[in-house]
Structure 1
C-alpha cells in the first residue's frame, strides 16, 4: 500500500491524483469484500459492489464489480438484476449501461443490485460522482416507457423484503397541448396493517421539483367551474356534485385525496413546474422496509400515486402499485390478497391471486404452463382472469388456433394456465437488456364455495418453461381473523345431592366466529336456585335430679340463591357441522344466599321400668326454633367439566349437556342448555 500513498503524494496532476484515490478505495473495498466472503460465505455486512466507469466525451459506460453469489439450495441458478440511476433523471435496468449526459457538472451515479435465488442481503454500492466537463446540444436518446394513453408510470427495482431498501421510479409526461405545472402525490403505509411497512428515506429530483409540506392538501376545481373558489382546503362544499370515474383517469381530486388519506397513514406531495407538451420526466424515491413489516410471504402491500398534470384543474391519474412481500428475491412467486380476511364477509368477496414468473434461460420460451394448486373450498366455476403478460386472448374451447393465446384448464385440485405460441425472451439471452421483458404474470380472481369452512389454505404453483423441469413457487396463503361470536345461553341445572332442587340459568358466551375445528370459549352465567335440606339429630343431657333427657330434632333448611358461574377458558372441538365436544374449568360463586332454618324437637326422658331403661315422652322438653342466615359473595368453588353439543355448533342454535365435578365441594352438577351463537 505504501507505493500508492507515495504516488498520490508526489503527483502534480489533479485528475491523476483523483484517479489514484479511486484506485486506492477500490483496492480497500475489494480486499475487505474478499475477506468477508472467505471467512463467511453468508456474511452481508461487507458485501459490496464497487462502481467503475469509462468516459468518452459525454458518453459514460458503467459496470459494477459483483461479489460471488451464494446459491439458494434447490432453486434455479442465482443471478443479479440491476438498477442504475445516472444522476440526471435517467435510469437503466441493464447490467453494463452506457449513458449520454447533456449537461456539464457533477452527476451522482448509483447502483442497486438485487441477488435473485441467493442467500443473503443484496450488495451495497457507494455512489460515484461523474464529472462532465461541458454541455452538449444533442438530445439524450432514451426509449420512452409510455404508451399512447399513459401519462404516469411507476416502476421499482425489486420487491419489498423486511429491513431492506427498494427504489420507486416515478415517470410523468405532459399530454396537454400547453406547458403546465402540477403535483404528484405518493400515499404509503396502508392502515390495514398494524405496523408501518415503509420509511421514506430519500427523494431525488432533477428538474426543479419541490417537496411540499403535507399538513394541507388543497383541492382544485374542474375546468369551467365558476361557482366556487379556485382552491380550498374545505372539500365538503363541492364533493357531492362530482362523479368518480372507474378508470385511472378521474375528475374528483378532493374525493380521491380524502379516500387516500383514510386508506394510508403517510403521504408526500411534490410540485413540478414548466413541463412542456410531450416532455417526460422521472424522479426517484428510496423506501426502507421496516423490520416489523408483515413477513407473510404471500401478503400484498400497495402504494398509491396521483398525478395532477395541471394545478389549476382537478383532472388526475391514479396508479395503484401492488407489491408482494418476500423473504428472498425470487422472480417466480405466487401471492394473494386474502392473507387476512373477515370470515363473516368473505363469501361476498372475490379473492385476487397473482402468479409471477421470469424466463431465466438463454433463449426465448414459447410455451409456459402454470399449474396452480387450488383448494376445494374455492368455487372454480367463478374463475375470472384479470390480467396477464404476455398479453394475449383467451384460447377458444376445443379448437386449435395458430395465434398466441392463454388456455385455461380447470381440474378438481388445480387450475392450469398455459401460454401458447408466445415469445418471452430469457434474461440470459443475447441482446436482451430490459429485464422486465423476460417477466410475465397471470392475475385472476375466484370466490369461495357457498358452504366453506373457516380454515387456512395454502396454494403453490409449478411453472414449466417449454419442456424444462418445473420451478415451484412459494405458498400463497389465505387466513381469517378470529372474529368474535357472542352466544346467548340458557338452561337448567340438576343437583343430585339436593332435595326439591330448582335452578335455572342464563348467560353469554364469547368465542371466535365460526371456527372450523378447535377453539377456546369463555362463558359468564347467572342462575336462580332454590332447594331444601333435611336433617335429623338429637341432643342428650342430665337434669338436676339425675334424670337423662333427650330432645330429637328434625331440621329443615330452605335456601334461595343467586349464583354466578364463570368459565374463563374452555377448549371446544367441532367434530362436524352438527356435533361438538368440550372441556374446561368452571368457577362458582354465590352472589347472594339466604337460608331459613326451622327446627322442631320432641323431648324424652329415660326412666327405669321393671329393670329396663325406657324413653318416656315428655312434652315439656319440646323445642321449636327458626333463624335466617344471609351471605353475599360467598361459597367460591372450582370445578372441571366435560360436555357435548348437538345442532348447528359452529354458528346458530344447538343443544348441550355438561357434567361438572367440583374439586372442593361434594355437589356435582348436570347442566342442560340451549345456546345460540351469533
Structure 2
C-alpha cells in the first residue's frame, strides 16, 4: 500500500489546484480588444468560458458598452465612430445568462482617437424611447445581490414639445420604504452634457409657477424595463408641485437630482449610473422593486412626468421570468376583488425569429380564472377571434388549473440572428390580472410558467409565490379556573382570571399564541386544630374559653403566562391547542388565624372573637409550571369563541380545568 501514497497525494493536489483555478477563472475580467482606424473603433471582448446550468437553455452573454462620449451599445462587437479626437474611457458590462458562475467584473479600457475624417460615418444608434415621454430608464440586467448594474437615464426634447429648447431637472428615486433594508447604492454617475447635481431646494427654486402645469404619466413600456403611470392630474402651481414631489419622494428612502440644460428638438441625451446591488438586499428572489424617475421641466407649458422602472430580484440571470407585483399582502385588508398582477417576460435566444410563442402558466387554486384580464403585451396583438387570416394575434386557453397565452403569426427576432443588435427587440411579455376566489384562505399561492418558442423544448420559469403577511391579532380572554380532586392547602382552590392573547391574524396553518393573565387577589383558609376549655382574660375580665380554632390563611396576588403554545384551527369553527403555562406569585401573605368562643362569667351567651398573628409577606416566592391542552368552538380564527382547557400542574402535582371565553381582534 505504501507505493500508492505519493500517487494519492498527487491526485488530491491536482484536484485542489483545479478547483482553485476554476474559482480564479470565475472572477477574471474581460479583455477588451479595440481596433482603431482613424475615428472608428471596432470592439471585441474575450470573456471567461460560460458554465452551463444543468437543464437550462444554452448559456450566453449579454453586453452593454459605454463608449465614453455619452453613447452606448448592446451589441456583442460594436463599431463606433467618434465625432472628435480625444481620450475615451470604454466600459463593458457583461451579464452571464444561464451560467452558474459569478458575473465578470466591469472592465474599463481607454482608447485614444488622434485622427478624424472630414466625412463621418453615422453610428447605428439603438432605439431607446418606447413611449411618448421625455424621460425613460433602462437597466442592463435584473438586480442580483452582490452585483453591480447600470441604469441608463435617457431624456429628450420629445416630439411635439411646445418649446424649442428644454431645461429642467431629473430626479432618480430609489430604495423603497416598503422594504426593511436598502437594496441599492449609487457607486458612480457618468454625465456628458453638462448635467450637474443639485439639491431639493434648488429644484424647487427652478420649478414652474404657472397654474397651467399638469402632472403626466406614461403607458406601460416593455423590454429590459417596465413603466407605468397615471393620467394627467392638474396642478394649481408651485405649492401643489412641491406637495406632489414630496408625495412621490415619500415612497423612497433616497434620491438624486440632476440639472439638465438646453435640450434641442429631436435631441436624446443619456446619463449612466452604476448601482451596487447590496448583498443584504431582500432575500426574496421573486420580489419586484421599483426605481422611479421624475422629469420636471422649467417651462410651465410642459408636463412633469414620472417613469417607473420595475425590476425583479434574481438569484441567477434568466431572461424568462414570471413575476407577481406586490407579493406580500395584508390578509386583514385584502378582499376577493384585489388585483393580482402577473407578468411573464420571455426572450428569444435563438438564431432565427419565433413565429409562435405559447406561454402556459399554472393557476393558483385561490385565484379565479373567470376574472382573467390581459392588460398589456409585447408584441402587441389583436385577439385571434377578431383577426383576419394570418394576422398577428393572441389567443387564450383556460383549463381547470392553467391558463395558456398563444402568440400566433408574430415575428420575434432571436438574439443570435444576423442583423439583430438591440436585445429589447428580442424580448416580449404578457401582463395579466387575476382576482381571488370567494372564501380565500390565508395560504401561499404559487404559479409557474412554461414558455415554448415554435416547436422547441419548453423553458420553465421560476416559481412566483404570493404570500400573506402574518399580521398580529390581539385578544382578550376571561374565565374560571377550578381544581380537580383535593385542593392543595396553600393554593387557592378556585380563581377568576382575565388575560390578553397575541397570535397570528386569522391563521390557516399551525401557529403560535402567547397569553398573559392578571389574577385578582385569592384567599385560602385551612383549618389546623381545635382546643377546648381554659380560662382567659378578655377586656380585663375573666372568661371561660368554650373552644378555640386555629386556621392557616394564604392570600396570593399572582400572574400567569403562556410562553409557548401551538394551535391549529381544523375548521373555521373548531380549534385545538397545547402548550406550557408558567404561574408566578407576585405577592404571598401567610398568617395564623384564631377564632375563639368565649363564655362570660355572668352567665350570658357565648360570643366569638378572632385575630391574626405570625403574619408574613413574601414577593415572587413561588413559581409553578403546567402543561395543558384545550378545545375551542366558535369563530376560532377571528372573533368570539368558547373553550375548555385541562391543565396538569407540577411542583406540586395538581389538575385543573379552565372554562373561558375569548375574542380575537
Given the two structures, how large is their TM-score scaled by the length of structure 1?
Answer: 0.81
Structure 1 residue 213: Cα displacement: 3.6
User: Closer, same or farther in 2 for the Cα pair 1:650/1:482, shift >3 Å?
Assistant: same
| DSSP-derived class of the 1:178 partner | coil
User: Closer, same or farther in 2 for the Cα pair 1:528/1:263, shift >3 Å?
Assistant: same
CA offset digits 1:365-396 (Å, max 9, x no partner): 12211111222112222222222111112333
Q: Which residue does the alignment assign to 1:185?
A: 171
Q: Which residue does the alignment assign to 2:412?
A: 424
Structure 1 residue 589: Cα displacement: 2.7
Structure 1 residue 319: Cα displacement: 0.4
| DSSP-derived class of the 1:655 partner | strand
Q: Which residue does the alignment assign to 2:21?
A: 40
| DSSP-derived class of the 2:248 partner | helix
Given the alignment of the two structures, is residue 316 of structure 1 paired with residue 299 of structure 2, yes or no? no
Q: Which residue does the alignment assign to 2:603?
A: none
Give the alignment partner of residue 377 of structure 1, picking from 366, 388, 399: 366
User: Closer, same or farther in 2 for the Cα pair 1:418/1:328, shift >3 Å?
Assistant: same
Q: Which residue does the alignment assign to 1:448?
A: 436
Given the alignment of the two structures, is residue 639 of structure 1 paired with residue 626 of structure 2, yes or no? yes
Given the alignment of the two structures, is residue 106 of structure 1 paired with residue 87 of structure 2, yes or no? yes
User: Closer, same or farther in 2 for the Cα pair 1:279/1:588, shift >3 Å?
Assistant: same
Q: Distance in 2 between matches of 1:586 and 1:38?
A: 54
Structure 1 residue 86: Cα displacement: 0.9
User: Closer, same or farther in 2 for the Cα pair 1:584/1:251, shift >3 Å?
Assistant: same
CA offset digits 1:311-339 (Å, max 9, x no partner): 66672121000000001111111112233
Give the alignment partner of residue 522 of structure 1, picking from 514, 518, 524: 514
Q: Distance in 1 between matches of 2:559 and 2:59?
A: 65
Q: Distance in 2 between matches of 1:660 and 1:156?
A: 61
CA offset digits 1:513-568 (Å, max 9, x no partner): 11211111111112336565553647799xxxxxxxxx997655666654322112
Structure 1 residue 417: Cα displacement: 1.5
Given the alignment of the two structures, is residue 627 of structure 1 paired with residue 612 of structure 2, yes or no? yes
Give the alignment partner of residue 390 of structure 1, picking from 371, 379, 383: 379
5 Å matches for 1:265-664? 265-310=253-298, 315-347=303-335, 349-396=338-385, 402-496=390-484, 497-498=486-487, 502-528=494-520, 533-535=525-527, 537=529, 555=550, 561-592=556-587, 598-599=593-594, 626-627=611-612, 629=615, 631=617, 633=619, 634-664=621-651
Structure 1 residue 670: Cα displacement: 0.7
Decide whether the 8 Å contact of 2:126 with 2:422 is kept in 1. Answer: no
User: Closer, same or farther in 2 for the Cα pair 1:529/1:492, shift >3 Å?
Assistant: farther
Q: Distance in 2 between matches of 1:585 and 1:39?
A: 52
Structure 1 residue 197: Cα displacement: 0.8
Give the superposed CA RMSD: 3.3
Deviates more, 1:484-493 or 1:636-645: 636-645
Q: Which residue does the alignment assign to 1:154?
A: 137
Q: Distance in 2 between matches of 1:125 and 1:489?
A: 61
Structure 1 residue 310: Cα displacement: 3.2
CA offset digits 1:575-611 (Å, max 9, x no partner): 22222211112122344556786556899xxxxxxxx
Structure 1 residue 475: Cα displacement: 1.1
Q: Distance in 1 between matches of 2:275 and 2:69?
A: 20
CA offset digits 1:386-418 (Å, max 9, x no partner): 221111123339x99642222222222222222
Structure 1 residue 48: Cα displacement: 2.0
User: Closer, same or farther in 2 for the Cα pair 1:123/1:585, shift >3 Å?
Assistant: same
Decide whether the 8 Å contact of 2:65 with 2:91 is kept in 1. Answer: yes
Structure 1 residue 255: Cα displacement: 3.4
Decide whether the 8 Å contact of 2:59 with 2:99 is kept in 1. Answer: yes
User: Closer, same or farther in 2 for the Cα pair 1:52/1:38, shift >3 Å?
Assistant: farther
Decide whether the 8 Å contact of 2:522 with 2:555 is kept in 1. Answer: yes
Q: Distance in 1 between matches of 2:259 and 2:175?
A: 21
Q: Distance in 2 between matches of 1:89 and 1:340?
A: 39
Given the alignment of the two structures, is residue 260 of structure 1 paired with residue 248 of structure 2, yes or no? yes
Structure 1 residue 361: Cα displacement: 1.6
| DSSP-derived class of the 1:418 partner | strand
Q: Distance in 1 between matches of 2:462 and 2:205?
A: 44
CA offset digits 1:446-479 (Å, max 9, x no partner): 2222322222232211111122221111111122
Q: Distance in 2 between matches of 1:437 and 1:93?
A: 11
Decide whether the 8 Å contact of 2:63 with 2:93 is kept in 1. Answer: yes
Q: Which residue does the alignment assign to 2:156?
A: 173
User: Closer, same or farther in 2 for the Cα pair 1:602/1:147, shift >3 Å?
Assistant: closer
Structure 1 residue 279: Cα displacement: 1.1
User: Closer, same or farther in 2 for the Cα pair 1:270/1:36, shift >3 Å?
Assistant: farther
Decide whether the 8 Å contact of 1:334 with 1:474 is kept in 2. Answer: yes
Q: Distance in 2 between matches of 1:207 and 1:375?
A: 50
CA offset digits 1:490-529 (Å, max 9, x no partner): 1111123349955222121011111211111111112336
Q: Distance in 2 between matches of 1:388 and 1:223?
A: 38
Q: Which residue does the alignment assign to 1:29?
A: none
Decide whether the 8 Å contact of 1:188 with 1:304 is kept in 2. Answer: yes
Decide whether the 8 Å contact of 2:207 with 2:297 is kept in 1. Answer: no
Decide whether the 8 Å contact of 1:154 with 1:169 is kept in 2. Answer: yes
User: Closer, same or farther in 2 for the Cα pair 1:491/1:413, shift >3 Å?
Assistant: same
Structure 1 residue 65: Cα displacement: 1.1
Q: Which residue does the alignment assign to 2:183?
A: 197
Structure 1 residue 87: Cα displacement: 1.0
5 Å matches for 1:127-138? 127-135=108-116, 136=118, 138=120
Decide whether the 8 Å contact of 2:34 with 2:43 is kept in 1. Answer: yes
CA offset digits 1:76-103 (Å, max 9, x no partner): 1111111111111111111111111112
| Structure 2: gaps (5+ residues) | 1-15, 218-228, 236-240, 534-545, 599-606
| DSSP-derived class of the 2:133 partner | coil
User: Closer, same or farther in 2 for the Cα pair 1:57/1:307, shift >3 Å?
Assistant: same
Decide whether the 8 Å contact of 2:26 with 2:101 is kept in 1. Answer: no
CA offset digits 1:597-654 (Å, max 9, x no partner): 6556899xxxxxxxxxxxxxxxxxx998642657464433222211121122111111
| DSSP-derived class of the 2:242 partner | helix
User: Closer, same or farther in 2 for the Cα pair 1:68/1:38, shift >3 Å?
Assistant: farther
Structure 1 residue 671: Cα displacement: 0.6
Decide whether the 8 Å contact of 2:214 with 2:232 is kept in 1. Answer: no
Structure 1 residue 309: Cα displacement: 3.7
